Amino acid sequence: MISSSKGAPTGAAMTECTVDEFEFEDAGRTFLCSPGAQRGPGAEGWWWFRLAADTRGQRYAPFRTSAGDTRAGVQARIVEYYDNLLVQRALPATRSPWGSRPNVANAAPAPLAEPGETAVA
């Protein structure tokens, strides 16, 4: 079972992992990492991390724990995940056409057909 000195949840469905919670610094950022389970029945083990400087307390669970996890491997995956997240956040916002309404203010009304005629668009 996964154990954590801060009492991270454990469960029968969690994968055995030999790495306990740890912290590390990368590029001036301090990462606090711990294995734990998401809430709910049959919860699987996930690697959770947060940044020490984040005052909102945002936590991330980017990947599952596995029996072969090492501290160096987990650390590398967390840094790669977080760096990619920062790149994605820096991209300009895009709007999906699915969430927007057509601009009806500039659209001409469709011609109405006279009785016995068909409308021509």
Q: What is the pLDDT of residues 59-86, one digit of tens each?
A: 999 999 998 999 999 999 999 999 999 9
Residue 37 forms part of a structural domain: yes
Strands 29-37 and 22-26: antiparallel
Residue 99 forms part of a structural domain: no
Residue 68 forms part of a structural domain: yes
Nearest-angstrom CA–CA distance, 15 and 35: 10
Residue 117 forms part of a structural domain: no
The number of domains in the chain is: 1
Residue 75 CB coordination number (10 Å): 18
pLDDT of residue 26: 96
Residue 15 forms part of a structural domain: no
Residue 78 forms part of a structural domain: yes
pLDDT of residue 29: 96
Structural domain boundaries, residue 52: 22-92
Residue 6 forms part of a structural domain: no
pLDDT of residue 80: 97
Residues of the chain with pLDDT under 50: 1-14
Residue 2 forms part of a structural domain: no
